[in-house]
Amino acid sequence: MLDLEIVPERSLGCENWEFILGMHFSQAVSVIQSQIGVIKGVHVLYSEMDPLNTDLILDLTQDGIRLIFDAVVQRLKVIEVYNMKLVRLKYCGVVFNSHETVPTVEQIENSFGATHPGMYDSGKQLFVLNFRGLTFYFPVDSKYQPDYALGLGSLQFPSGSSPVVSCMAIYSGNNSSETKAPLLPLCVYMNNVYLQKVEVIREARKTSGLRLHLYSEGPSRFLEYKSQNLTKEVFFGDTCQSVLSSLGTPSRVFYKSEDKMKIHSPNSNKKSSDAHSDYFYNYFTLGLDVLFDSKTQRVKKFVLHTNFPGHYNFNMYHRCEFELVLPQDSRDNSKKLINIPCQTVTVTTFTQWDAISEQISPSERPVVLNRSSSTNTTNPFGSTFSYGYQDIIFEVMPNNYIASLTLHSESE
């Protein structure tokens, strides 16, 4: 049984680890992975066809805890304890829920003090007691519905017993149903740089680079840590030193051992005497990969990851929220696609492929990409489809959302 401390409007955890409101999905997964053998049985719940309107959930089934993440920003929004019998809970060091301490009305009032009168939900037959950033749910039959003015103290059962908490929620604000995921807390920055958004810089129908709006933790003149906002630009042809100066040290450096997409290149049959491999700078918290040419040591490709659940690389990267403006195409009377001057289409991380392909002229036949690994030769999420347009490759998932955006230099 987990022995945990709750902090209303902030966290649930212990001395060694905690789930903090506003933390990213991947950070919560890292906490769970660090507690193998302690936290057991975790299910990931999401909507495959409607991933932006349905919350992303980590369900700790053997501990009765549900972590609810905002579907868009993928930060922790609500911490829910839905089975009080599976955990031992404390507030300010005092136990209020355990096998020995039953979370009755009196126990909650003694532990948390006075609050406003609760509300009765007749549909769910629950009495809801709210504190700021914390809500308790008591199952109460409608025939015992209390007087709202008197609150839970007015509940009278024939046996003299008191209702017991069945569920508890920790969140930011005054109401769990209206709460939003807080900003990333400073305590979970871990000296990383995070991304607000990326603007794809294009000139004359060609991509030249990226403009990244970043935020990070840093000391102020009063030696207190606070969030800092930065704007950096990186371009094709930049050296690795220039990228390091702009974006900092990558999360990982990955050397390409093989390129399965090379067969689609017109130069695929040319043999190279150069034994060196191109290499990526992987920036996981930015949702970005930067590919460098092994000969010139300069940028030749950018890969932007959308981190939708149901993709092979889900949870490896934070979501890269990008904005790409392209010229709009249209069909003339001969059904040929022509460019319309001054009309554009804006592509974002959340734009579906059907809406994009109706306004531009991508390659008609996509390349089918079915990832696999050395330990698991089958991709459980199925294939994705790559469409080319000018110097851009759109990787599209079966649900019509973009999995990644690859921007390559003219020489690629």
Query: Phi/psi at 207 (nearest 5 deg)?
Result: -85, 130
List the one residue out of 263, 97, 117 whose CA is nearest residue 167: 97
Q: What ranges in 6-84 are assigned the alpha helix state H?
A: 25-34
For the beta sheet containing 167-170, the strands, ordered from the edge strand earlier in sequence to the opposite edge, are 42-45, 56-60, 65-69, 76-81, 167-170, 134-139, 126-131, 119-121
> What is the residue-level pLDDT of the chain in tens, covering all 412 positions?
999 999 999 999 999 999 999 999 999 999 999 999 999 999 999 999 999 999 999 999 999 999 999 999 999 999 999 999 999 999 999 999 999 999 988 899 889 986 767 777 777 888 888 899 999 998 887 665 555 445 555 555 555 567 899 999 999 998 888 899 999 998 888 888 999 999 999 998 899 999 999 998 866 655 566 778 999 999 999 999 999 999 999 999 999 875 554 555 555 555 554 557 899 999 999 999 999 999 999 999 999 999 999 999 999 999 999 999 999 886 554 445 555 566 899 999 999 999 999 999 999 899 998 876 555 556 677 899 999 999 999 999 999 999 999 999 876 5
Beta bridge partners of 348: 323
pLDDT of residue 149: 41
| Residues 212 and 234 sit within 8 Å (Cβ to Cβ) | yes
In this structure, are strands 94-97 and 126-131 parallel, antiparallel, or unpaired? unpaired
Q: Where are the domains of the chain?
A: 2-170, 189-266+274-408
In this structure, are strands 322-331 and 167-170 parallel, antiparallel, or unpaired? unpaired
Q: What is the per-residue DSSP string for 250-303?
A: -SEEEE-S--TTGGGSTTTT---------EEEEEGGGTEEEEE-TTT-BEEEEE
Q: How far is residue 10's CA from residue 78's CA, in Å, rounded to a whole number?
A: 10
pLDDT of residue 342: 66
Instruction: Tell me the Cα Rg of the chain.
Output: 26
Kindly report the number of other CB atoms within 10 A of residue 83's CB atom: 15
pLDDT of residue 328: 87
pLDDT of residue 266: 55
Q: Which two tokens stand for residue 207?
A: 């991509």
Nearest 5°: CA angle at 335, between 350 and 357?
10
Beta bridge partners of 7: 11
Query: Phi/psi at 242 (nearest 5 deg)?
Result: -65, -40
pLDDT of residue 378: 62
Kindly report the number of other CB atoms within 10 A of residue 272's CB atom: 9
Q: Which two tokens stand for residue 81?
A: 């304890």
pLDDT of residue 148: 46
pLDDT of residue 330: 63
Q: Which two tokens stand for residue 166?
A: 């069945």
Q: How far is residue 236's CA from residue 280's CA, in Å, rounded to a whole number?
A: 14
Q: What is the pTM of this model?
A: 0.88
